[in-house]
Every structure is written in C-alpha cells, then in structure tokens.
Amino acid sequence: MRTDATIVAPATPRGESGLAVIRLSGDRAESILRRIFRPARPLDSFESHRLYYGHAVDGSEVVDEVMAVLMRAPKTFTREDVAEIHCHGGPLPVSRIVALCLRQGAVMARPGEFTLRAFLNGRLDLAQAEAVAGIIHARSEAAGRAALGQLEGRLSSRLRVLKKDLVELLAHLETHIDFVEEDIDLPDQDKWCERVAAVRRQVEEIAATYTSGRMLKDGVRVLILGKPNVGKSSLLNCMLGESRAIVSEWAGTTRDTIEENLVLNGFPLRLIDTAGIRQTEDPVEKEGVERARQKIRSADLVLFLVDGSRPIDDDDRLVFDFCPSERTLLVVNKIDLQQSPLPSWLSGLPRVSIGARDHIGIDRLGDALCRLLGDDRGDAGESLLVYESRHYQALLHCSQALDRLLQSLEQGESPEFLAVDLQDALRSLGEITGETTPDDVLDTIFSQFCIGK
C-alpha cells in the first residue's frame, strides 16, 4: 500500500454525461483541492462534508464550473482525508482536472485502491470490501440485496460468532499444552465433540447457500437444447424480446452457441441457444453439436425443447439421453398446432407447453423456471447468501478441518494435534474476512475492481 501517497481517479464511468466525480484520498487531499479549486466566495477553511460552488482552475485559467467537497478523516470511506470535485461529465474537463491533481502531487489510483485503503484502515473487512464490487456488478435487484447484506456485515457477523467459539476452545487447549504442570484438565470428550459439531453444522449451513448465491451473482446458466428446427432460436428471441438469433424453416441454422443475459421473475439468467442435436456427417454441424454437449455439463438448467405438433423421434431421444434429469425442464413448443402424444419415457420430467413464435405461455415458462430454481431470490436481502467462490472454498476447508478435529477427538489424539486442526479451521474463516488472507490474494481481489472505487 502506498500509505504516503494521495491518490486520484474519476469515480464515475468514462464517456459523456451530465456529471462526473473526481476523487482524491490521502494526507494531501485538502492542499491539492485548495490549489485547483477557486470557491465563488472566499473561504478561510473548508467545513468538512459541505459542498461548495466554484471553479476548477489551472493558475488563472478557468477549467470548468464545479462543486467541491472536503471530507476529513476518519469519517470517510477510506478513513483518510477525501476530496471530491463534481464537474461536467465530458472527457475533456475530467481529464484536465485529473491532470491538475497529478501535477500538484497526487498519483493515479490503481484499480480498487480506494476500497483497499478502506479495508487496510479498518473501515471494512475483506468480505465487506468484496461486497462493494458485488453491488456495482449486480445484475438483478435480488443480487444487489444479497451484496448489500454482505456489505452491512451479515456474513462477517455470523463468522465472528463462530470464530469466537473456536478461539475459546483453542485458548483452553493451548493453556493445557503450555502449562501442563498445572494439571489443567480438558473438558470431557462429549462436550468438546458437541461444541465442535455445532460449529461445523453452522459452517456447512452457510456454505450450502452458495448455489443460490452464485446463481444470483453470475446468473443462472439456462441451456436451450433440442433437435434442429424445434424452435430453440424462436424461444431465445421470445424470451429476450428481440430478434437475436436467426430463425429459419431450414434445419441446422444455428451452428454455434449464442449467449444472452436477461432477468426473469427476479432471476438473472444466462440464456444459451445451442446447435440442434442430431446424427449428422456435416463437420461444421458436428462441431456445433459437440459444443452443445459440452455446455450441458456447466448448465444450471436445461430446457429440453420438443415440437409438440410432430411425433417424438430418435433425434429427440438422443437429446433426452444427454439431459440431466434433475436439472431438465421439458418445454413442448408449438402448442397452437395439433398436438401429438408424448412417449412415456418423457413423463418423469416437469413440463410446460408454449408457443414461442406467438409468445404463448412464456409467463408459465418463467414460473416453471422459478419453481425449479427455488425461491431464494425473494429474501436475499434478509437471509445470508454466500456468492463468492473464494468464500465457499474457505468454508469447505474450515468444515474439513473440523471433521479432522472430531476424528482426532474420537481417536484420543494428543492436544497438540487437536490444536493444529483448530488453527486450520480458524485460518480458513479468517481468509474470508481478511485477517489471514495472503497478500497475493488481496492483490487479485482488488485488481478486479474498477479504477476509482
């Protein structure tokens, strides 16, 4: 961390807009602001957290008409002195004002450096810092509520309680190890096992929310699968509300996967339209079929689309054999035409009937998707959801360490071995909140932030 540097960066996106914000943070924020900001009325001193009208100036030259605010530490996002200049949102005034700040001694902020300083100065723990990026990149209201809950400390508070329990156990254990001559007895095995099992159970409960949390953050990967010419591209266009994929009466029009994002009933979805699956000798079409098969492995849900107006054939059966039964919704298309009976081997799949070309039954499809996905999106702001892979892996490591501890207790291992497992469990929880996170991991996390945040 460049603790002696005052950093500067635009806090708003590049491009043209009505307003842009340029942010400074560090010991020299006030002095730099004084050199480049001329208030409309003379000031002896800036009142903290008050907005002033004036001009950004380069010597005697006016650069832009602006508003400026100085926020003194520690009541700022970074817990350092912070100054902001609100100027017109064009590339020219923004670049000129940033250049003025750099000439006065500021340095350009790295990606995520403002949030990194907030973390290192104790304003946020690491989980809360990551939630800042979660809010910025949220693709639905539910994802935003989940990230906001993490920013407010919902995950961190829960982990603090668990860590407190483990620290108490470790303190008792290490006291016994360090002062063995004092004959300090350990609690009996049953009580230890009960306490450790209770912590492990809570860790596993938190980890179990990852599937729902990951889908809220990244979007549910929904694969549209079927033989050629059953209406996959029409369904994609219908759900998107625009003509994204080519629709043709000729089979095999889609040769590669097409991926698009949308929000359906509160769920962010990643819709994937695939090449039609069938037995073929066409090398290009065969490659499209193979890519579709590869997408099945990573899909959260598969929409198995069939043409309800025609008898189910061997190509439909081939597609069915690819589908994971527990993650597949049967979608019967062309409900507006005379329907053919479905074979008994399709009876085990949840089913919905639609007419993709005329937008018939799309609401029913949305409801069916939500039922299969569960309804975690509705209370994402009130319940705890883990949505970062890093957090999930740390929770798994903690659970594994507690498993080893329980086995060691049952086998009557020496206190030194028990302490190693307890320390490992605590280290895993500390990686989530930042107490035990290696510097290279911190660099990776904050490098993914945008500049200015």
Rounded to an integer, the average pLDDT of 46-52 is: 96
Check whether 68 is labelled as a binding-site residue: no
Burial of residue 432 (number of CB atoms within 10 Å: 0-12, 13-18, 19+): buried
Chain-centre distance of CA 108, in angstroms? 27
Q: Residue 256: pLDDT band by 50, 70, 90 thresholds?
A: low
Nearest C-alpha neighbor of 239 from the set 131, 360, 108: 360
Check whether 275 is labelled as a binding-site residue: yes
Check whether 280 is labelled as a binding-site residue: no
Q: Residue 242: pLDDT band by 50, 70, 90 thresholds?
A: low
pLDDT at 184 over 70: no
Q: What per-residue confidence (pLDDT) applies to 162? A: 95
Check whether 328 is labelled as a binding-site residue: no
Higher pLDDT, 226 or 86: 86
Query: Among 203-212, 236-245, 339-348, which range has the highest average pLDDT?
Result: 203-212
Q: What is the CATH number of domain 128-209+385-447?
A: 1.20.120.430
State if pTM tops 0.85: no
Rounded to an integer, the average pLDDT of 267-285 is: 76
Q: Residue 254: pLDDT band by 50, 70, 90 thresholds?
A: very low
- Tell me how crowded residue 345 is: count the other CB atoms within 10 A of its CB: 10
Cβ-contact 103, 57 below 8 angstroms: no
Query: Would you list the domain boundaries of the chain?
Result: 7-109, 128-209+385-447, 218-378
Higher pLDDT, 4 or 423: 423
Cβ-contact 32, 6 below 8 angstroms: yes
Rounded CA separation 335/352 (Å): 10
Check whether 310 is labelled as a binding-site residue: no
**Range 218-378: architecture per CATH:** 3-Layer(aba) Sandwich (3.40)
Check whether 261 is labelled as a binding-site residue: no
Rounded CA separation 340/322 (Å): 23
Q: What per-residue confidence (pLDDT) applies to 179? A: 56
Q: What per-residue confidence (pLDDT) applies to 196? A: 92
DSSP 448: T
Give tens-digit pLDDT for 379-399.
Answer: 444 578 899 999 999 999 999
Joined tokens for residue 246? 């080519």
Check whether 254 is labelled as a binding-site residue: yes
**Range 7-109: architecture per CATH:** 2-Layer Sandwich (3.30)
Domains 7-109 and 128-209+385-447 share a fold: no
Write down the number of H helices and E strands in the chain: 15, 13
Check whether 230 is labelled as a binding-site residue: yes
Check whether 436 is labelled as a binding-site residue: no
Check whether 76 is labelled as a binding-site residue: no
- Tell me how crowded residue 429 is: count the other CB atoms within 10 A of its CB: 23
Rounded to an integer, the average pLDDT of 280-285 is: 67
Rounded CA separation 81/381 (Å): 32
Check whether 89 is labelled as a binding-site residue: no
pLDDT at 96 over 80: yes
Question: What percent of the chain is helix, strand and coil (3-state, nearest 5)?
Answer: 50, 20, 35
Q: In the predicted model, what is the mean pLDDT of the chain?
A: 86
Check whether 59 is labelled as a binding-site residue: no
Rounded CA separation 347/330 (Å): 9
Nearest C-alpha neighbor of 233 from the set 270, 271, 263: 271
Check whether 60 is labelled as a binding-site residue: no
Rounded to an integer, the average pLDDT of 44-71 is: 95
Check whether 29 is labelled as a binding-site residue: no
Cβ-contact 80, 25 below 8 angstroms: yes
Cβ-contact 301, 328 below 8 angstroms: yes
Q: What per-residue confidence (pLDDT) applies to 280? A: 65
Check whether 453 is labelled as a binding-site residue: yes
pLDDT at 180 over 60: no
Burial of residue 85 (number of CB atoms within 10 Å: 0-12, 13-18, 19+): buried
